[in-house]
Amino acid sequence: MILALETSCDETAAALVTDDGAVRANVVSSQADLHARYGGVVPEVASRRHLELVVPVVREALREANAELGDVSRVAVTRGPGLIGALLIGLAAAKAVAWARRVPLVPVDHLQGHVASLYLGEDALEPPFVCLLASGGHTLLLDVRERGAATVLGTTLDDAAGEAFDKGARLLGLGYPGGAAIDALARSGDPDAFAFPVARLPGLDFSFSGLKTALLYTVRALPQEELERRRADLAASYQRAIVRALVERARAAAERTRADTVAVVGGVAANSELRGALPGAVLAPLDLCTDNAAMIASAARYAEPVPYPDYLGLDAYA
């Protein structure tokens, strides 16, 4: 079994996954409530909380899997990208467990982890496919020809899609994190109420900063009372613009690479409108969209393990 740790942002997560991709435990402790009062993740606060949570979360994963450290053949951990202090807590904990058990350590790239959320369970996906990775930190279109490798076809030139959701939610007074809040509010709104722009860039890149500015100006121009009344319409129209940009580009990428399959992963893949907007696409399971350690364990199966004790000098990357 692989024990994986993920601490790149504000989720402290541990998972146990078998070599053939069966998830035995997947524990995620979100710090969202802790950061909500600041309107976003405070890196130093996140690091300190990871430090408090990492051991209980690993214990909980072992309990859930009915396993012990002796059953672990290697330890996987997110090495980057993410918040450097937060990553270092997970990396130090993973090194400690691996070293104590004299087993190899597998450093995993967080983005490869998101893609590998498609390789778990009964309906594990087989490349080739085009992957839309939309999260709080990244928006990427990837050409995936084999597990463990990918070529970037397009990326965002400014904000990530999840960041656009979070900033939009903030402008609408919905608090942090905002993606799920916009998703929920949009259900009772009219997506055609406001005509928000979808950036028309050449190629397969994205841009969301113009959309965010358009929402800002619209919100500013509305009297407070009307803003209250039309909040759901604003959420629905804003969400529609983000989803439209993602869907258009994903389709274009599939056309360009002649891929038969489009897959969607990352926190924004949890969005209900996006999930409905790409019929036939392979969608990451809901519980594996936002950050978790099961996807890190999954990716570790296709990454190079570092033998005991060479990994003690490994560093994280921001």
Q: DSSP code of 137? A: S
Q: Which one, 104 or 162, has the nearer CB to ligand KG4?
A: 162
Q: Which residues on neighbouring strands pair with residue 136, listed in sequence order?
A: none
Cβ 292 to Zn ion shortest distance, Å: 9
**Residue pair 301/16 in contact by the 8 Å Cβ criterion:** no
Q: How far is CA 142 from CA 179, 247, 249, 312, in A?
A: 22, 14, 11, 32
Residue 127 one-letter amino acid: P
For binding to ligand KG4 (CB under 6 A), which residues are involved?
9, 135-137, 162, 165-166, 177-180, 183, 266-268, 270-271, 290-291
Cβ 317 to Zn ion shortest distance, Å: 15
Cβ 308 to Zn ion shortest distance, Å: 28
Q: Which residues on neighbouring strands pair with residue 206, listed in sequence order?
A: 156
Q: Which one, 135 or 207, has the nearer CB to Zn ion?
A: 135
Angle CA 229–230–234, to nearest 5:
155
Q: Which one, 74 or 249, has the nearer CB to ligand KG4?
A: 249
Q: Which one, 94 or 295, has the nearer CB to ligand KG4?
A: 295
- Using CB under 5 A as the binding rule, whether residue 291 contacts Zn ion is answered as yes
Cβ 290 to ligand KG4 shortest distance, Å: 3
Of Zn ion, ligand KG4, none, which one does residue 168 interact with (CB within 5 to 8 Å by kind)? none
Neighbours of 152 (CB within 10 A): 12
Q: Which one, 72 or 91, has the nearer CB to ligand KG4?
A: 91
- Using CB under 5 A as the binding rule, whether residue 6 contacts Zn ion is answered as no
Measured CA to CA, the distance from residue 8 to residue 91 in angstroms comes to: 10
Q: Fill in the per-residue mask, 124 to 153: x = in contact with Zn ion (CB under 5 A), - = not in contact.
A: -----------x------------------
Measured CA to CA, the distance from residue 38 to residue 181 in angstroms comes to: 17
Q: DSSP code of 261? A: -
**Residue pair 97/75 in contact by the 8 Å Cβ criterion:** yes
Q: Which residues contact 251 (CB under 8 A, 6 or more apart)?
A: 262
Of ligand KG4, Zn ion, none, which one does residue 271 interact with (CB within 5 to 8 Å by kind)? ligand KG4
Cβ 258 to ligand KG4 shortest distance, Å: 28
Cβ 278 to ligand KG4 shortest distance, Å: 14
**Residue pair 80/91 in contact by the 8 Å Cβ criterion:** no
Q: Which one, 154 or 162, has the nearer CB to ligand KG4?
A: 162
| Distance from the first to the final alpha carbon of the chain | 28
Of ligand KG4, Zn ion, none, which one does residue 180 interact with (CB within 5 to 8 Å by kind)? ligand KG4
* Contact positions vs Zn ion (CB under 5 A): 135, 291
